[in-house]
Structure 1
Amino acid sequence: MDDQICPRCKTTKYRNPSLKLMVNVCGHALCESCVDLLFLKGSGACPECQIPLRRTNFRIQLFEDSMVEKEVDIRKRILRDFNKKEEDFTTLREYNDYLEEIETIIYNLANNIDVIETNKRIEQYKKANKEQILKSKSKLGREEYELEELLELEKQQEEERKLELIKQEVEMKKKKIREKEALIDELMFSEADAANIVETFASTIQATREEAKVVPVAKVTQFSTGIKFGRQGQQTFMPVPKVEEGPTYCYKRIEQEVEGPHPPGWQEMESGGYIAHVRSEKPAEKAGGFKSNIACLRALQEAMAGLYHNPSQRPPESMAI
């Protein structure tokens, strides 16, 4: 991967690890030092394309390719005015044509193609859709404001949780220090056996900690929207049975009792012409796993299952309920 380099002073990231490349609307990159040097009066021309630029419009380059940075900047600026939604159009074709027009404008401005004509198209659109643009901007502004409020609230709650954890850790450290100092004083000034003192002290501390156990701060397990994350929502599996506890599960195929002729199978049903007069499944039914031969086979099984059934014949005593 090529190292980042300022095209004017030729400083690289290797020579200056704190190098920050900055870009403006033209898309050409300059390091922060060159920007400060060339734009002392607040405005000046780009050293590469001579386009008049302002110092306030420079920003840190996020992408390695400066042309990508330029296209992203142009896209943000264009989409602030071209902000119609699909529901604002009568047909999907009109909406797709609208999106294609936006991409054409962005491509022309990013590659310096018919810039004057493209800017005229943008101004004409802004004049013709002034009310729609203002309405969409106000709607987006409200949504962004609400989203920022939610993010700020989550940030405050997270900070409070961190402060509470830090406070608990500090208290625990102070308590441990006090316990150690008390043990040392006891060993220094007491005439009792040192082993007994340590043992008694350890049991006392253990009992005290269990009585005054600090309730831990509840761990965050979900986002503000209620969606759980991590492994909190997963169910635990049953333990694997052991041989000494009893026989393990063994699968046995279910045998259907038929009081009538044995129903045909899949191949017999197709070769026998049973499905010749059954309509084929629709695409939606097929997508759901339903097929016409399944319905035909089930109907044949239900029809033949009880043909020989005799309701007057009582079942054996062993089968009676």
Structure 2
Amino acid sequence: MGNGAAAGGGGGGAGLRAPAAAPSGDTLLASERISITFSCLISTALVISSVEEAEDILRCESCVELLFVRGAGNCHECDTLLRKSNFRVQLFEDPAIDKEVEIRKKVLKIYNKREDDFPSLSEYNDFLEEIEEIVYNLTNNVDLENTKKKMELYQKENKEVIQKNKIKLMREQEELEEALEAERQESERRRLLIQKEEQIQQILKRKNKQALLDDLEKSNLPASLLLAQHKDRSTQLEMQVEKPSQVRPVTFSTGIKMGQSISLAPIPKLEEALYTYQPLQVETYGPQVPELEMLGKLGYLNHVRAASPQDVAGGYTSSLACSRALQDAFSGLFWHPN
């Protein structure tokens, strides 16, 4: 291993000497493989191969240039054909996460339906579950053949929908970029207007100050009168300064244009019988309690305390309290055991 350390000590595989003929991964000598492995471990610029091929291979940039000088070559560990163009910089510490992220991007390019493409929320949730199952299978190498056939069949059957949603997504991204650019331009315009207004105010202040000094020097009027006139003149000039016009926004912060009609799929209506109100029937097994309006006429409120303004503000009325007392008194008078 000492020879390998010496060969890789140049940093990132820079000290390796390439063979006379550009070798493929399966023709490397054992000592060269050790040096390459060691240089990969000490390199800071790591790249990872395509997730669809040999996701367990980690190499530095120099090793990739050495092994795949012809653009393609076999992996010296699993003998999988790898393409140099499919290598990319590793983003996450765990290469499995890079693999899942890349697979999810490719799957979502095919399974790009949205909620408004489904008649019900349940079907849309089933569609999302199917996507997660496909991503899991491809990430963990579970039933790869059937999963890929399933994706190919779906792509063939939904070619038009996939293309339509792809165009829709591109259009939405363009509209969002235009909205962000318009917002940036509007912010810049407001900044320039405010800056211009501040400059004008500073110029006016200097002129007014100089005019006041000239008046105090040349005029015979009292200083208090000159100061009052100068103050009125300054107020009038400030009112004449052009204020930046407030431009009414035409889009929301999300990029959606105000007043834009949004086409939504109609919610399927369930044909059901209309609700019919049925009055509540309470069986008290006693005489019928008079209505609240009749309690006073029938003399039931003669011996009931009148409600004060504070009681009425809290919702208390004499008729309500009397009606509840009568319900308690009448309840069960007609009941008799069988």
- TM-score of the two chains, using structure 2 as the length reference: 0.48
Which structure's relative contact order is higher, taking Cα pairs within 8 Å and 6+ residues apart? 2
